[in-house]
Amino acid sequence: MKIIGGDVQANSEGAQADTLPTMTNLANVQETSQQGAAPLELDGKHIVLGLSGGIACYKAAELCRALIRAGATVQVVMTEAAEQFITPVTMQALSGRPVYTSQWDSREDNSMAHINLSREADALVVAPMSADFMAKLLHGRADDLLSLMCLARRIDKVPLLVAPAMNREMYAHPATQRNFVQLEADGATVLGVGNGFQACGETGDGRMLEPAQLLEDVIAFFTPKVLAGQRVLVTAGPTYEAIDPVRGITNLSSGKMGFAIARAAREAGAEVTLVAGPVSLETPRGVTRINVKSAQNMLEATEIRAHVATVFIATAAVADWRVATPSQQKIKKDGSGAAPQLTFMENQDILATVAQSPAARDGRLYCVGFAAESHDLLSNAQAKRLRKQVPLLVGNIGPDTFGQDHNTVLLIDAQGATELPRASKLSLARQLVREIASRITLQNKPLAP
Ligand SMILES: Cc1cc2nc3c(=O)[nH]c(=O)nc-3n(C[C@H](O)[C@H](O)[C@H](O)COP(=O)(O)O)c2cc1C
C-alpha cells in the first residue's frame, strides 16, 4: 500500500520550532497544535489589512484574529476615519504589530511606509472598504497612507481584495455600482456584500461579509486553481425516509465531509453544486446548494445536475431502503403491545445510476464514490468500486467519521490503495480535490502516438 502524507506533516511545525513565539506566531502555534500537524491555510502569507471608515470596523478586529489563526501575519493600516470607529490600540493588540495610520509616520528609516509595507505584502485586504475609499481608489488618489499604498503597490505581485460595507442606499447608488465595475476592471477583487439588518436600522444589501466568510474568500484566493473550468456536483449528508408524518429513518451522517469537499472544490476554482440531505451546516462560500430530504429527492436533484457536471462526488450516506407505503397519519400505539409491521423497498442507487450515464461511461463525467464500512475496509471498498464501476472510491469507517471533524480515508483506484492519514475533514477534502484534479488531468491527456 502506498502511503502519502509527507506534505501534510512537513512545513509549519518545523518552521515555527525555530522561531521565538512572538505574539503573532504564538497564535499560530496554538492553532497548529489544536489541529494536529496539518499546515495552516495562510502559513507564510503576510497580509496588509486596511480599514477605512465604517461601522463594520468592529468586524475587522475579528477578521484580523481569523487571519492570524489561519497562519498569516497581519499588518494593520487604518484611515483617519477608521480610527473613529475602532482604536489602533485594539488592532495592534490583535495583530501583534504597531498599526500605521499616517503617510508621515517617522518610524520607517526612509520615511516611506507606503513603499515598505506594500513591498512586504502577499495581499492587501481592505475591510471594510467605505464608499468614499473606493471612489478614491478609482481616481488613483493617494492623500492618506492606505490609498497611497493601494496605488504604490506592485500591481502584478500584490493583489488587492476589498470588502465593501455601506448603507443600502449608498450601495445601490449608480455611482457606487459604476465604481465596483471599474474597480474590478482595474484588477481588484471585490469580495461582495451581505444582505440584512444594517447599523442604520435599514435592511438590504451592503453589510460587510462576516469575518469567517472573508477568511474563506482570502484562503480561496490563494488556493491553486487545479479545478478551474470544472463543474463539480457533490452530494452530502444523510437522507430521511418517512415512516409517517412525524417519524422517519435516517442515519448519523453529519454532512461535514461533503460540505468540506464542496468548499475545497470551490477554493480550487470549480463551479460547485451541493445536493444536501437534512443537515444544518452553513453553505460554503460561492457554492450552490440544493436541499433534499429523501433518497428519491436526492436522486432526482442529482440526475438533473449530473448532465452538466464534469465531476461527481457522492459523499452522501443515502438510505438503501425506504418504507414502501409511509402512513398518511401518525401511527399510534393501540395498547395491544403489537409493533407496527413496516415493509421496505430498495432505493435506486444514486452513484451507480450516475456512473452508468453516457457522460460517465465516455469519460466526460469523472465519478467518485464514498464507502462507509464497519469492517474490512480495504476489501469492502475495493469490491464497491468494482461494483459501482467508478474510477475512484474513498473508503472510511462509518462510526469513526459520522459527526466527527477528523477522519482517515483510503483512496482506491485501479492502481491500488492510498491512505490519507488522520486529518481534519477540510484538510482531507483539499487533498482529495488535488488527487481528483491530477487524475482528471491524466485522463484528459492525449494518448501518446
Ligand atoms: C456613524 C457613521 C457611520 C458610517 N458608516 C459608513 C459605512 O458603513 N460605509 C461607508 O462607506 N461610509 C460610512 N460612513 C461615512 C464614512 O465614514 C466617510 O465617508 C469617511 O469620509 C470615510 O473615510 P475613509 O474612506 O477615508 O475611511 C459613516 C459615517 C458615520 C458618521
Does residue 201 share a domain with residue 273?
no
Task: Write out pLDDT tens, residues 270-303.
Answer: 999 999 999 999 999 999 999 999 999 999 999 9
Decide if pLDDT at 230 tops 80.
yes
User: 3 has which bridge partners?
Assistant: 419
- Distance from the CA of 154 to the center of ligand 1, in angstroms? 27
Residue of 196, 198, 69, 189 whose CA lies nearest to 129 = 189
Residue that is written with C-alpha cell 478551474 in the block: 228
Higher pLDDT, 301 or 447: 301
Q: In whole angstroms, what is the distance from residue 218 CA to residue 40 CA? A: 13
Does residue 314 share a domain with residue 191?
no
Q: In whole angstroms, what is the distance from residue 237 CA to residue 433 CA? A: 19
Decide if pLDDT at 93 tops 90.
yes
In percent, the amount of the chain with pLDDT more than 70 equals: 90
**Nearest atom in ligand 1 to 131's CA:** 11
Does residue 263 share a domain with residue 134?
no
Higher pLDDT, 252 or 121: 121
In a domain, 339, yes or no: no
Task: Write out pLDDT tens, residues 378-405.
Answer: 899 999 999 999 999 999 887 777 778 8
224 is written with which cell numbers?
491553486
Q: How many domains does the chain have?
A: 2
Q: What angle do CA 274, 432, 398 make, to 5 degrees?
A: 75
**Entry pTM:** 0.85
Q: In whole angstroms, what is the distance from residue 138 CA to residue 183 CA? A: 6
User: 76 has which bridge partners?
Assistant: 49
Pocket test for ligand 1, best of 126, 132, 136 (most atoms within 8 A of CB): 132
Domain that holds residue 284: 231-320+346-444
In a domain, 7, yes or no: no
Decide if pLDDT at 7 tops 60.
no
Q: How many CA atoms lie within 13 A of 392 on its CB side?
A: 25
Residue 444: pLDDT band with limits 50, 70, 90: low
Q: What is the pLDDT of residue 442?
A: 65
227 is written with which cell numbers?
479545478
Higher pLDDT, 144 or 447: 144
Q: Which residues have C-beta atoms less than 6 Å from ligand 1?
A: 52-56, 79, 81-82, 130-133, 165-166, 170
In a domain, 139, yes or no: yes
**Nearest atom in ligand 1 to 56's CA:** 8
Q: What is the pLDDT of residue 334?
A: 87
Q: What is the pLDDT of residue 375?
A: 84
Task: Write out pLDDT tens, residues 319-341.
Answer: 999 999 999 999 999 899 999 99
| Helix, coil or strand: residue 149 | helix
Q: In whole angstroms, what is the distance from residue 4 CA to residue 408 CA? A: 12
Does residue 89 share a domain with residue 61?
yes
- Distance from the CA of 59 to the center of ligand 1, in angstroms? 15
273 is written with which cell numbers?
453544486
Q: What is the pLDDT of residue 441?
A: 78
Of 169, 195, 222, which residue sits at a domain end? 222
